[in-house]
Structure 1
Amino acid sequence: MNGIGTALLSEVQREALDEVLAGVPYNSASQFHEYFGTRAAPPRFGQSCAWQSFTVGRMVAERSGAGAEYLIDGRHVAAVYRRPEGLVILDPYLLHGEPLRLDRGAAVDGAVQVAVDAYPHRVRKDGTPAPSRVRATWTLDDDAIRLDYLRFSPRRGHNVASRSFVLRPESRLETVPPPADWVRPLLVHPEQHSVSVRVLHPATRRMAELILPLADRPAGVAGDSKLLITKDNQGAVATYGDARFERDLEVVADAVCAPQDEVIAFLLEAAAIHRSAAPAGLALAPYSLEDE
């Protein structure tokens, strides 16, 4: 792939992934500001999932010279590194704590599978740790990669499938980032039924998320603030004005190094941009207020 040694490249990939996990939060509002608004979002506020992958890939390239393939499934993008012995995948949105390394020699019945711990690291009722998991499956005959994110559900008492993506070699992005005319329709896709910022606090490595559901909002933007909710590291939902909401909001604001009011305003403005940009009659599913 390039002249850098395998061991050094592995360390560069691991460090870059960790830096993005803790320092570039997932923020689905950022690209609304950039592609429909008047300015790019402050870097500390984070980026949408695809841009997290672009960022980790850029970091690896700057430090090692190794370039990534960016494979896409719908609106999701992962950075994939090919080497003679297999693949390495970096996908910060899925919160895996180590790069996903798939070695061709470990294939069983034509497929290679690996699973690693991912955030959030939750706790069972008995106090034992319950990390999330990301599982990657690479089928050699068609070169397809399936990524499954399995997050521990305190309510159910076991890990449940939260996200799944299939990356195929023909889905490679040729331009990174893609052209604006390609990006804008994806931002107002019906799947985008909220704007949110999700942080992995760099000091505690605990997650918190501030979310504004986009369905059934009042006409006035000022009224949107009362629809805000948060989730804590255990996936428990808190509504606007609740003490737990204030606690979670404090974690989010501290992680992005911004005042709480500024973080809220950022989401409110993105929601207003979405309202203006979305096609007429766009139907959005309600956001679940159920604890995970």
Structure 2
Amino acid sequence: MKTLNVAETPPVGTAAIHGAVLDEVLTTFPYNSASQFHEYFGSGPAPRGYGGSCAWQSFEAGRLVAERAGAEAEYWIDGRHVAAVYRDAGGMTLLDPYLLHCPPLRLERADAVDGEVRLAVDAYPFRIREDGSVAPSRVRVCWVPEDDSVRLDHLRFSPRRGHNVISRSFTLRRERQLTEVPPPAEWVRPQLLHPEQHSVSVRVVHPATRELAEIILPLAGRPTGVVSDTESMITKNNQGAVARHGARAFHRDSEVVADAVGSPRQDVVDFLLEAAALHLAAAPAGLETAAYSLEDE
């Protein structure tokens, strides 16, 4: 895999390309934890509009940057999480669409203070506080150039709690990289059956409204041999409010997802149901997954 030599500087215009690619992936290649079940346990890859898992979102960003700028990414990993990283003499740029950051994460070596480069940027979702003011999510980054470790935190406003909460945290290290993209099937399949995989879901940033919507099918507690049921499905809207199947809000949220994906709502629902059935068929005996929280955020 070709990488940018750290002695070089990024090509002119690369920063703009990074920004355009990130926005394109966020709005046209959604996070979809069901897609790789279809690809690796089912009938094959999903249509592009259905998106892919967090790793595949980063792979898609890397593919588009390579096409448009000629720069190849390094893919740094933390467990099952993958980000596209571009190093140069002045620092590094990260594209991590799963974390929903709005601008690319540009870290300048010259900005180091006490051995650390820190950055915080806006991210989706942009929520509304009780007083009507806008509460953007944030991605915080801490890069330690000495050991090339990068800590990433995604914080979002919780309407239920009235303050920001950390929703995701990862630590990337230069020595932990994928050497083949996409990885071989024998690496991917065990990741899909990891106990952390407690749901299959499609999460979109709608290209017109820039609001988040998600359809989720929890996997925990399903009786062996029972095909997943639509009654177990929930949705979340931009505020993180949960709606159960059959509720008016569920229909509204799922239509937002379907519109962003570009497919009928029932097709998206069936896609998740089929992925859950594939998970059930492939999961090892005794696999326990954590319960999915049904509380409003």
TM above 0.5, one fold? yes
- TM-superposed CA distance for 1:217, in Å, is 2.1
SS at match of 1:269: helix
- The question of whether the paired residues in 1 share the 8 Å contact of 2:11 and 2:69 is answered with no
**Whole-Å separation in 2 of the counterparts to 1:252 and 1:140:** 39
List aligned pairs for 1:1-292, cutoff 5 A.
Answer: 1=4, 6-218=11-223, 219-221=225-227, 224-292=229-297
**Whole-Å separation in 2 of the counterparts to 1:110 and 1:140:** 7
Which amino acid in the other structure matches residue 46 of structure 1? G
Which amino acid in the other structure matches residue 29 of structure 1? A
**Residues 70-121 of structure 1: per-residue CA shift (max 9 Å, x gap):** 0000000000110111010000000000000110111011000101000000
**Whole-Å separation in 1 of the counterparts to 2:120 and 2:255:** 32
**Whole-Å separation in 1 of the counterparts to 2:221 and 2:266:** 23
**Residues 159-205 of structure 1: per-residue CA shift (max 9 Å, x gap):** 11111001011101110010000000000000000000000001110
What stretches of structure 2 of length at least 5 have no aligned partner? none
SS at match of 1:171: coil
- The question of whether the paired residues in 2 share the 8 Å contact of 1:4 and 1:64 is answered with no
**Whole-Å separation in 1 of the counterparts to 2:92 and 2:69:** 17
Which amino acid in the other structure matches residue 20 of structure 1? V
**Whole-Å separation in 2 of the counterparts to 1:55 and 1:257:** 18
- TM-superposed CA distance for 1:4, in Å, is 8.2
Q: CA RMSD in A?
A: 1.2
Which amino acid in the other structure matches residue 49 of structure 2? R
**Whole-Å separation in 2 of the counterparts to 1:19 and 1:4:** 24
Which amino acid in the other structure matches residue 76 of structure 1? H
**Residues 25-77 of structure 1: per-residue CA shift (max 9 Å, x gap):** 00000000000111211111110000000000110010010111100000000
TM-score (norm 1): 0.97
Which amino acid in the other structure matches residue 71 of structure 1? W
**Whole-Å separation in 1 of the counterparts to 2:198 and 2:12:** 41
**Whole-Å separation in 1 of the counterparts to 2:72 and 2:46:** 26
- The question of whether the paired residues in 1 share the 8 Å contact of 2:9 and 2:88 is answered with no
**Whole-Å separation in 2 of the counterparts to 1:271 and 1:166:** 29
What stretches of structure 1 of length at least 5 have no aligned partner? none
Query: Post-superposition, which runs of at least 4 consecutive aligned residues in structure 1 deviate over 4 A?
Result: 2-7
Which amino acid in the other structure matches residue 31 of structure 1? Q
- The question of whether the paired residues in 2 share the 8 Å contact of 1:217 and 1:224 is answered with no
Aligned length in residues: 291
TM-score (norm 2): 0.96
SS at match of 2:257: helix
